[in-house]
Amino acid sequence: MEISFSFKNFSEQEKAALENYLTQKLPALEKAVTRYSHPPHSLELRAERFVKKSAYNVTLHLKTSRGVLMASEDDHTIVEAVDLAKDKLVRQLTRK
pLDDT for 29: 87
Q: Which pTM value belongs to this model?
A: 0.89
Measuring CA to CA, how many Å separate 79 from each of 22, 38, 39, 61, 95? 9, 29, 28, 17, 24
Residues with Cβ within 8 Å of residue 37, at least 6 apart in sequence? 64, 65, 66
User: Residue 51: is its pLDDT beyond 90?
Assistant: no
User: Residue 27: is its pLDDT beyond 80?
Assistant: yes
| Structural domains of the chain, ranges and CATH numbers in brackets | 2-95 (3.30.160.100)
pLDDT band, residue 71 (cuts 50/70/90): very high
Amino acid at 56: Y
pLDDT band, residue 31 (cuts 50/70/90): confident
